[in-house]
Amino acid sequence: MLHLRSTVLLAILPIQASADVQSVLRPHGEGASRIAEISWVMFIGAGVIFLLVMILLAVALYGKPQARTLLGRRSLIVAGGLAFPIAVLSALLAYNLKAASSSAMADTAPAVRIEVVGEMWWWRVRYLAANGQPLFETANDIRIPYGQPVEFVLKSDNVIHSFWVPELAGKLDMVPGHVNRLRVQAKNAGVFRGQCAEYCGAQHAKMMFDVQALDPGDFQQWVAAQREPARKPADDTLRAGQRHFLRACAQCHAIRGTAAAGTLGPDLTHIGSRRSLAAGVLPNNVGTLAGWIAGSQHIKPDNAMPSFNRLSSQDLRAVAQYLESLE
C-alpha cells in the first residue's frame, strides 16, 4: 500500500507542477477569462447531465417495477433521448458562440503591436512602431503593459507553429505564408509562460517563452532601454569576450552597436536582461551561457547553432561574461 501511494504521488507531482506554471483555469487576461468561464459552464453542464443519466440508470436497474415501467414509456424516451439533448446542446452552443465572440478589445486600437515569428525552435520577437516598422528585436522574451490591449502579429517562415499563453488567451496557429492576429490584455502584473502548441519538429517541447506583464510606466522604460545599443565592454575580460564573439558568432547573431549583424539567430543586444536561454530551456546566467555555447547540440539536439566545444575555458568564460553584461 505504501509503495502504491508513493507511485501515485510521484505521478501527480509533475502534473501539479505543470499546472502551477501554466493553467487555462487560472486566467489573468480577458481572453483567458472567457475561455475559463466557457470551460466551467461546459464542465458543470456535462456533470449535471452525467449525474442525471446515472440516476435514471440506477432506477432502471434497481428501481421498483412501477418506476422501471415508467421509464419505458415512449413519451419519456422521446423527451429524454431526443428533445432534451437538442434543447441543452443548442443552449450550450448559443452560449459558447456568444461568449467567445464578445470582446471589449475588438473596438479599441492596440496600445502595443508585437510581431512574433516561429523559428526552429525559438521565437523571434519584434516590437513595431505605429507605421509597422520594427523598433527593436528580441527573442523568447515578451513584455507587455497590463491593463492595455496588445496585438500579436503571428507569422512563420518554416512549418506550422501555434502561439499559446494559457493564462492570457487562447492558442492561435502560425501558418507559413499567412498572418494571424491575436489580441491580449493582461489584468495584472506577472510572468506567464507560453508554449508552442503545434508539433513542429524534434525540439517542439523545448520551444517556450515568457510573457511579462509590467506596469505601463515600467514597460515604457523597458522599451526605451531595449532601443539603446549594447553597452560597451567595461574591462579587459569583457573586451576579450566581445572579440571572440565577433570572430565566431557575428555571422548569425546581431548585437546593435557592434559589427555583429547576423540575422539567422536571435538578436543578442540585451541578452543579459532575459530570464532564460534556448527558448526557456535554461535559466540565464554566466554558467548556463557558457554551457549553451559549448554544448548547444547536447542540450537541444538539431537546433541551428553548432556547439563551440573547442574554445578554451578562459575564452568560453570571457564570451559568457560579455553576453551576461548586455542588459
What pLDDT score does 64 carry?
85
How confident is the model over 198-217, as a mean pLDDT?
95
Q: In percent, how much of the chain has pLDDT > 90?
A: 65
Q: How far apart are CA 126 and CA 158, in angstroms?
A: 18
> Strands 161-164, 282-283: parallel, antiparallel or unpaired by DSSP?
unpaired
- pLDDT reading at 143 higher than 60: yes
Q: pLDDT (tens digit, 9 = 90+) per residue, 75-125? A: 888 888 888 888 888 988 888 888 777 655 566 889 999 999 999 999 999
The domain over range 236-324 is classified in CATH as 3.40.50.1820 = no
- Look at 82 and 174; give whichever has higher pLDDT: 174
CATH 2.20.28.120 holds for 109-225: no
3-state class of 253 per DSSP? Answer: coil
Domain ranges in the chain with CATH number 2.60.40.420: 109-225, 236-324
Predicted pLDDT of residue 103: 58
- pLDDT score of 9 more than 90: no
| Average pLDDT taken over every residue of the chain | 88
How much is the pLDDT for 18?
A: 46
For residues 303 and 56, the model is more confident at: 303
The answer for 302, left when phi > 0, alpha when psi is -120 to 50, beta otherwise, is left
Q: Are the C-beta atoms of residues 32 and 167 closer than 8 Å to each other? A: yes
Using one digit for the tens of pLDDT, what is the confidence trace for 208-238? 999 999 999 999 999 999 999 999 998 999 9
- pLDDT of residue 2 exceeding 90, the answer is no
Separation CA 226–CA 184 (nearest Å): 22
